[in-house]
Chains A and B, each alone.
Chain A
Amino acid sequence: MLGFLFRRLGDIIPTFFGVTLLVFFLIRLIPGDPIIMLAGERSVEPERYAELQAQYGFDQPIIVQYFDYLVGVFQGDLGKSFVTKKPVIDEFLTLFPATVELALMGILFAVFIGVPLGVLAAINRGKWIDHLTMSISLTGYSMPIFWWALLLIMFFSTTLGWTPVSGRLSVMYFFEPVTGFMLIDSLLSGEKGAFTSAVSHLILPTVALGTIPMAVIARMTRSSMLEVLGEEYIRVARAKGIAPFRVIMIHALRNALIPVITVIGLQVGVLLGGAILTETIFSWPGIGKWIIEAMNRRDYPTIQGGILMIAFVVMSMNLIVDLLYGIVNPRIRYKR
């Protein structure tokens, strides 16, 4: 298991260095003078120019610049935002919990709807319920989620008035964030109705964000389940006189979920990409909305730092999923 971990790290570390390189050159690839870009000012006086050049280290050879940048990254220094003048890493850490909360709910939605749909389709293979489920899945898979989010708002918020249109919490409530997770903070605050408000704000973004992963998971669960249901040990379990429901839920599903876990891991990237759209539409104060705003304002340090952090998160998640895979699948656990 430890060897397995090291081998995966051996894959990931060079890739991460590659991403730092990519992100580092991002700014240098922008057409035009990076100093003027970085200054974010219309015209720059020569003295100010030299000052900026020194400040950002552009007077150094490019290798030295990259090395400095790398040292900064490892010290948690991702530069300062042009707009807010605050360190990028601080802004990231403040906003990150909101995105994690949304992404977590999204993946929970995807798993808790997608897996049962896939199982249902598999045990009713070829019947109308299978066709229906797979049609839903394919539609979900092809869904432009920014439109889906607007439809949800149109129907549930503006027409039915069931859920709020945007934000994380009603303006009636205010409390200092403790964990950054609104569901937990609203409970901790002890304010009446705050938790309900947080939940009602979460529902639509969760559905919008979770739809594509749900569709992918449902399809994967179905095909994996079909394969497992044909295995001999399923017949053996039934020959033991075990009820069909238990055979499916315990014997088949446990095995069928092994490949599904890998797919769930791959959805982390999809979720973070989707979070950009979802957060923009629902005015969800997370890193997706933050990055889009930075792009619209050409706030390069924020873009740079944000992308690096997202890459870091995706890679760490993939590593965690790989390790989880080893825990669920005993064959891998013992092989190494």
Chain B
Amino acid sequence: MTENTTPSAAPASNVAEAAVEPVGAPPSPMRETWAYFKTNRGAFTGLIVIGVILFLALTAQWIAPFDPIAQDRTAFLKPPIWMEGADPRYILGTDAVGRDILSRLIHGAQLSVSIGVAVVILSMIAGIVLGMVAGYFRGWIEVAVMRLMDIMLSLPSLIMALAIVAILGPGLENAMLAIAIVQLPHYVRLTRASVVSELNKEYVIASQIAGAGHTRQMFVNILPNCMAPLIVQGTLGISSAILDAAALGFLGLGAQPPLPEWGTMLSEAREFVGSAWWVITFPGLCILVTVLAFNLMGDGLRDALDPKMKR
């Protein structure tokens, strides 16, 4: 009888073994997210492109063949080297005052990436503090903060940014500040929503009983549990910051010439729409590729973090 029971129990025990097989610690949340992320081809491509852009941005001083603002009076509007009449020194050609486009694009990467990252960090910190305070203390402070955010959201983001730049005056720093303010409501809303849902969880109540102060509760206990959606929003925020900064630059209200910001480059190149395609095509392509890469990565991150949020 006893040896007969073994085969019938076999399938069940096989399953059990298979489930227990990977002995040891469960995969860390980081590694698990990475495993999801890797399977997403688009997101992975985005990550690689971002890596390349970051590399270019960090090493711009050394790898750019020319000074981005140095003008060569012997080479105005030279086409890229595969075209007729090109100057072999300037791979992607030169602009109207004889600056090397490739060098300007590489330095532009530095500018755009710094703009994106700085704006998001600034906006995120302010947004997290405001959202945290609103969600944690509730009451009138929540009403006031959230109503202000509603008002800010009722204006199209570019118009809002323009209005702020109109107050502060044109320039790169002011444009960045304006974009950071425009992005603020997204982080505030996200943080508040997560905080409100976390607030009633037992670990919060437990540490409250253990005597944790408000600051500790907010930023040590609760905040780490709200980070997943904020990271996703931050990644997507970088892409929209780069896009908005370029738009402001294009309108002459962001980075000012001769800074090699991509939008500003486009603004200077506008008049050559009928004559020199390269001064227009390359800066825009850089914006598109960078924004696309951050969007791809943001989407991938969302998909990778989402199942965990549902769990």
Which residues of A does B touch, CB under 8 Å? 11, 14-16, 18-19, 22, 26, 29-31, 138-139, 141-144, 146-148, 150-151, 153-154, 158, 165, 269-270, 272-274, 276-277, 280-281, 291-292, 295-296, 298, 303, 307, 310-311, 314-315
Q: Given contacts A276-B159, A307-B155, is CB(A154)–CB(B291) below 8 Å?
A: no
With A147-B287, A277-B250 given, name 20 new contacts (CB 8 A). Answer: A11-B150, A15-B151, A18-B147, A19-B151, A31-B168, A138-B295, A142-B292, A143-B291, A144-B247, A144-B263, A151-B284, A154-B277, A158-B274, A165-B273, A273-B157, A277-B251, A281-B270, A303-B166, A311-B154, A314-B154
The listed residue (A30, A146, A298, A311) touching B155 by CB distance below 8 A is A311
B292 and A146 within 8 A (CB): no
- A311 to B280 alpha-carbon distance, docked (Å): 33
B270 and A15 within 8 A (CB): no
7 contacts between A and B (CB under 8 A): A18-B147, A19-B155, A138-B299, A142-B243, A270-B156, A273-B156, A292-B162
B150 contacts across to A, CB distance below 8 A: 11, 15, 18
The listed residue (B148, B165, B266) touching A146 by CB distance below 8 A is B266
A146 and B163 within 8 A (CB): no
A142 contacts across to B, CB distance below 8 A: 239, 243, 288, 291-292, 295
- A298 to B168 alpha-carbon distance, docked (Å): 11
The listed residue (B155, B156, B292) touching A138 by CB distance below 8 A is B292
Closest CB-CB distance, A81 to chain B, in whole Å?
15
Q: Can you name the residue of chain B whose Cβ is closest to the Cβ of A28?
A: B167
A144 and B292 within 8 A (CB): no
**In the complex, how many residues of chain B place their beta carbon closer than 8 angstroms to a beta carbon of chain A?**
43
A146 contacts across to B, CB distance below 8 A: 246-247, 250, 263, 266
Q: Can you name the residue of chain A whose Cβ is closest to the Cβ of B277?
A: A154
The listed residue (A150, A165, A274) touching B284 by CB distance below 8 A is A150
Chain A, interface SS category: helix
A26 and B250 within 8 A (CB): no
- A165 to B273 alpha-carbon distance, docked (Å): 10
Chain B 142-181 per-residue mask, 1 if CB under 8 angstroms from chain A, else 0 = 0000011011001111110011011111000000000000
B283 at interface by CB-CB < 8 Å: yes
How many pairs of residues, A versus B, come closer than 8 Å at their CB atoms?
A: 120
Chain B 240-271 per-residue mask, 1 if CB under 8 angstroms from chain A, else 0 = 00010011001111000000000100100010
Question: Which 7 A-B residue pairings sit nearest by Cβ, starting from the closest?
Answer: A147-B284, A273-B158, A273-B156, A18-B151, A269-B156, A158-B274, A142-B292
Closest CB-CB distance, A31 to chain B, in whole Å?
8
Chain B 202-225 per-residue mask, 1 if CB under 8 angstroms from chain A, else 0 = 000000000000000000000000
Chain B 67-103 per-residue mask, 1 if CB under 8 angstroms from chain A, else 0 = 0000000000000000000000000000000000000
B296 at interface by CB-CB < 8 Å: yes
B281 at interface by CB-CB < 8 Å: yes
A158 and B159 within 8 A (CB): no
Closest CB-CB distance, A309 to chain B, in whole Å?
11
Closest CB-CB distance, B173 to chain A, in whole Å?
14
- A61 to B22 alpha-carbon distance, docked (Å): 74
Closest CB-CB distance, A14 to chain B, in whole Å?
7
Q: Can you name the residue of chain A whose Cβ is closest to the Cβ of B251?
A: A292
B154 and A315 within 8 A (CB): yes
Q: Can you name the residue of chain A whose Cβ is closest to the Cβ of B250?
A: A146
A269 contacts across to B, CB distance below 8 A: 155-157
B266 and A153 within 8 A (CB): no
- A310 to B155 alpha-carbon distance, docked (Å): 7
- A164 to B118 alpha-carbon distance, docked (Å): 40
A143 contacts across to B, CB distance below 8 A: 288, 291
